[in-house]
Amino acid sequence: PNYYEQYFSTIDFRDYPAVKGFFVVDEPTYGQLVDTESRYLTWFNENYGDGTYEFWSNLFSRYVTNWKKGDYKDKTYDDYAGHYLSTLSRANSINKHFSIDYYTLRKTDGGIYMADTNLMAHVDAATRAKNAGVKFSAYVQAFGGYADDTSYREPTTYAEIDWGVNNLLSFGATTLKFFHYREYKKDKLVGMLSDGVPNDRYYWTQEALEILRKWDHVYLSYKWDHIYTNVGTGSRDSINPAFEYVRNIEKPITNVSGVKSKYDITMNEFTDGDGNKAFMLCNYDEPLMQRKNKVTITMQNAEGLLYYRKGEPTTVLLEKGKFEIELDAGEGVFVIPLYKK
């Protein structure tokens, strides 16, 4: 707030066509949410609340407690998210959303791993957005390192960026942001630029977005419902800790009677405005391993499937209800069952 008042309080941003909105607060504490509401919600609605500007905020996920500071240490995450949804998300902006950032790709001295609470963090946020009637938004990990926290690993392959995009699409995210664009050498943070020059992560991001733009009109006609998981027969362990976090809330996919995969997968069900079902199938194997993942799905009653892979549609007829596909590392496909009319 002080930064804004010092530099921008006398500027009318409507005089600048390039300004599309305001990133109001990032990862606020509960107190900062209250402060932002009192300072800027009325200001925004009175000056830019014609429904054409963005009023953007990004919250901590449910597994981070940094928001518990000051006079609000007794608050729960339900209080924190609920306060945002009942106040700031109701700004008269072009979009109403619930946004979090959660970065899954990690490393230790002994190797690499995917953070266990990834799925539940995004299921939680997507559910809150759905119940509140707002859009779900999230961030793709395109950085590595940060200050003294070296557990965040730097994506070094397209598969890791592709997995980040598909993982968020699985939960119905309609706005994707990529963290981080430029590097901060003093904080040891690397992003999509190296010494001011676009690096591989920049071009991988452009590739992933180019693919998404080919079929986003289909994706955006559906809304997320719920998650389902399957541990692969070739997975190292008989359980996936991330899957255990959602075990009690996951539900089967409509008219899917059997699922078999070489490595771990997620399936998230969607519904369009006419009640038609679809699902997003994602390779949940560690993307850096670069392993193909053969998946067999058995459908009931469906004659065929229309699926979108790398942005392109393919229609297949099913024999005995079986659909087989070999997913690339980090890959996701959007599947629409086809039935007799």
The pLDDT tens digits for 253-297 are 999 999 999 999 999 999 999 999 999 999 999 999 999 999 999
pLDDT at 148: 67
* pLDDT tens digits along 230-249: 999 998 888 899 999 999 99
Q: What mean pLDDT, rounded, does the chain reach? A: 93
Q: How many CB atoms lie within 10 A of CB 204?
A: 23
| Pairing, β 111-114 against β 105-108 | antiparallel
| Pairing, β 332-338 against β 277-283 | antiparallel
* pLDDT tens digits along 295-328: 999 999 999 999 999 999 999 999 999 999 999 9
- What pTM did the predictor assign? 0.94
pLDDT at residue 1 above 60? no
Cα–Cα distance, 237 to 248 (Å, whole number) = 20
Q: Where are the beta strands (DSSP E) in the chain?
A: 21-26, 54-58, 97-100, 105-108, 111-114, 135-141, 175-179, 193-194, 197-198, 222-230, 256-261, 265-272, 277-283, 293-299, 304-309, 312-317, 322-327, 332-338
Q: Report CA 171 to chain centroid distance, whole Å.
A: 7
Query: Percent of the chain having pLDDT more than 90?
Result: 78
* pLDDT tens digits along 152-180: 899 999 999 999 999 999 999 999 999 98
pLDDT at 184: 73
